[in-house]
Amino acid sequence: MRSRYSAFVRHDWDYLKHTQTGQDESPATTDIEWLGLEILGIKAGGENDAEGAVEFVAHYTHQGRPASLHEISRFHKHDGKWLYVGGEFPPAAHQTKIGRNEPCPCGSGKKFKKCCGRG
């Protein structure tokens, strides 16, 4: 999880592509400034596990506005390597509301409604 966050900060799209499975491979937007990562919880994901999950909040600014991304990311181990397989946004009262036509906070470069806001 931390390595993927660092890759978003460094705009290392190749690393992100190689540490995920079944996801859109388009590069994330570059106009997000990542400010910090808080790990809120971990479920499984140990050396002998095949699956795991990490709940986190990533703080950032987009076009000068502070925001945060709160997600529970799911990972599967494949050939000894952890791969991101998807995530969920837990309900949170303190989360910044994202408009349907705003850029998705995951960094995909797509509008929220066409990415993580699909319902």
Containing structural domain, residue 24:
1-114
Number of domain units in the chain: 1
106-115, long-range: CB within 8 Å, 24+ apart, which pairs? 106/28, 106/69, 106/71, 107/8, 107/28, 107/29, 107/32, 108/24, 108/26, 108/28, 108/29, 109/26, 109/27, 109/28, 109/29, 110/24, 110/26, 115/24
Instruction: For residue 119, tell me if it sits in a domain.
Output: no
pLDDT digit string, tens, across residues 18-64: 999 876 666 667 788 999 999 999 999 999 999 999 999 999 998 88
Q: Please report whether residue 109 resides in a domain.
A: yes
Here the tokens at position 65 are 């506005």
Instruction: State yes or no: pLDDT of 93 exceeds 60.
Output: no
Global pTM?
Answer: 0.72
Could you tell me if residue 46 is inside a domain? yes
Domain at 89, CATH number: 3.10.450.50
